[in-house]
Amino acid sequence: MEPNEVDVLIVGAGLSGICAAYHVQTSCPGKSYALLEARARLGGTWDLFRYPGIRSDSDMYTLGYSFRPWTDAKAIADGESILRYVRDTAREAGIDRRIHFGLSVERAAWSSAEARWRVEARDGESGELRSFRCSFLFLCAGYYEYAEGYTPAFEGRERFGGRIVHPQHWSPDIDYAGKRVVVIGSGATAVTLVPELAKHAAHVTMLQRSPTYILSAPQSDVLANRLRKLFPPRVAYAITRWKNVLFGMFFYNFCRKFPRRAKAWLIERMREELAGSGDLAKDFTPTYNPWEQRMCLVPDSDLFLALRAGRASVVTDQIESFTERGIRLRSGAELEADLIVTATGLKLKVLGGLALQVDDQPIELSKAMTYKGMMLSDVPNLAFAMGYTNASWTLKCDLTAEYVCRVLNYMDQRGAASCVPRRTDPRVQEEPLIDFSSSYVKRSIDAFPRQGSRAPWRLYQNYALDRRMLRRSALDDGTLEFR
């Protein structure tokens, strides 16, 4: 092989990229592999985001890897602990020595004659374009745009006399101690920021267009911590992981099947948490049903405690314009601020912005269909890692990596050089890849590949079902073509 040629090339060295690398080197020990990472350090999202209070929005017993137990006492972990967990995993497995840093993948072209991908990546420092070749391309870059977050065009923004920052670009020099802070947004980032900023700010206002479902959960899992005293780490971790997976599946299905009952229960929980410190009907009663958008999780009621203490407040209104002193609202009120944080969402990016070609023909991703939520119709020897929207990201990434390894070993057994999903069932109808009403999904979903109306083209948000399908189903299923 040439110096820049490997059997498996993994794009991205974040949570899912390290996961993919571990499975490849464990389940396919004869395969050479390398990782390309655009940033200077591994860790992906957990290295990029540095805003105060950054943490997981799901428990670490499901966000953690299946092969490496999470042993910290906190189930809802801070960003630094998660980053350390990912880096330790990479270092202990020797994966960190296979990473090429500072290389942004731009193009990948498949040659059927050679049964190889030619991948071109831009060196961030020199600007040089470097070329790699591989038999199988595994994309683990997530679907967020790392360069910038989403910020609407606010009228009068230039008039504001204070500082405006998007959480994705938070820097250590941002001073909020003793200052009036307005956080625009109501999603996971906003509900994480508000209680953390409120510890030192004069006051923090969460300004939202509409309410979100917010549910409090214990930061530490009492059962998990007890189990670790009784059983070996892997056994305790497995029990806790399945306990949380099954509860999450039950709760999600309950919300989707009985939306009125679920909504009433959630609103009653928020009423108890507020204890009269907020306007429940106006600020904490969403217009949509539970799990039509991702639910916000707060550890140990931290957001509600800040509201009850008067250190923070919630305002539901629309922005008329920025002013010299803050924000003027449609209602006519004005929120005075020294610092404005635009927690207004993220931008989605299809497969890391990679341009694909198959035998010199460009692939239009919006016209492709996803096979088992990880491969693309008519695109050979390519898989991508995409986690669940209703559960922890890593649950699906683990299963995806296991399935890719099954495919690689099966190809070796059959002497096949390529595998490609083919759309041959005329009964399969196209559907959006992500069935969410969130604004960040609506803005970008048309550029993404589609899912199908039935298996194996349907993207199931169900870990137990995926686990059975991806671990036990036949590989040569009449849809995945081997050559």
Q: Which domains does the chain have, with CATH numbers?
A: 5-147+347-482 (3.50.50.60), 157-225+256-342 (3.50.50.60)
Assigned token pair, 283: 């600020």
> Residues of 272-283 as b/e, b for ≥16 C-beta within 10 angstroms?
ebbeebbebeeb
What integer pLDDT is reported at residue 346 of this predicted model? Answer: 82
What integer pLDDT is reported at residue 27 of this predicted model? Answer: 98
Residue with tokens 């969130």: 438
Phi/psi of residue 404, nearest 5 degrees: -60, -40
Q: Please state, for a pLDDT cut of 70, what percent of the chain lies above it.
A: 98
Assigned token pair, 137: 């391309």
Report residue 440's pLDDT band, with 50, 70 and 90 as the boundaries: low
Q: Residues 292-334: pLDDT tens digits? A: 888 999 999 999 999 999 999 999 999 999 999 999 999 999 9
> Residues of 21-59 as b/e, b for ≥16 C-beta within 10 angstroms?
bbbbbeebeebbbbbbbbbeebbbbbbbbebbbbbbbbb
Residue 2 has pLDDT above 70, yes or no: no
Q: Residues 16-54: pLDDT tens digits? A: 999 999 999 999 999 999 999 999 999 999 999 999 999
What integer pLDDT is reported at residue 438 of this predicted model? Answer: 64
The answer to whether the pTM exceeds 0.85 is yes
Q: Residues 176-193: pLDDT tens digits? A: 999 999 999 999 999 999
Report residue 3's pLDDT band, with 50, 70 and 90 as the boundaries: low
Residue 90 has pLDDT above 60, yes or no: yes
